[in-house]
Amino acid sequence: MNQFSLKRIILITPLAALLLLMSDRRMDAGQFGPPEAGTPEGKIALGVGYFRFAGKLNPENGNLLARRHELKQNQIYLQASYGFLKNWETYLRVVASDLKINNAFPFAEQRGLSDAFKDGFRPSGALGIKGLVYDSAYFSLGPFFQMNISSGYKDKKRFDGNLPACDLNPEGVCLPVVAERSDELKVKNLWDVNLGIDLQTKIYGITLYAGPFAYWTGYKAEYKLKVFNFPPNSTITDQTHYREKNNFGGFVGLKAPLPWVKGLNVDIEGQFRNKGSVGISLSYLLW
pLDDT of 174-216, one tens digit each? Answer: 545 556 778 899 999 989 899 999 999 999 889 999 999 999 9
pLDDT at 43 over 90: yes
The answer to whether 77 and 93 have CB atoms below 8 angstroms apart is yes
Q: Does domain 3-149+190-213+248-285 have CATH number 3.40.50?
A: no
pLDDT of 96-108, one tens digit each? Answer: 999 999 988 887 7
**pLDDT computed for residue 185 by the predictor:** 93
pLDDT of 239-277, one tens digit each? Answer: 999 998 788 999 999 999 998 888 899 999 988 876 667
pLDDT at 165 over 90: no
Query: Exposure string (b/e) for 170-184, b if CB count within 10 Å is 16 or more?
Result: eeeeeeeeebebebb
**pLDDT computed for residue 97 by the predictor:** 92
pLDDT at 27 over 70: no
Residue 107: Cβ within 10 Å count? 16
CA angle 145, 148, 154 (to 5 degrees): 165
Q: What average pLDDT is seen over the chain?
A: 82
Residue 252: Cβ within 10 Å count? 18
Q: Identify the residue with better confidence: 93 or 10.
A: 93
Percent of the chain's residues with pLDDT above 70: 79
**Confidence at 111, pLDDT banded by 50, 70, 90:** low
pLDDT of 147-163, one tens digit each? Answer: 998 889 999 887 665 55
**What is the distance, to the nearest Å, from the Cα of residue 220 to the centroid of all Cα atoms in its chain?**
16
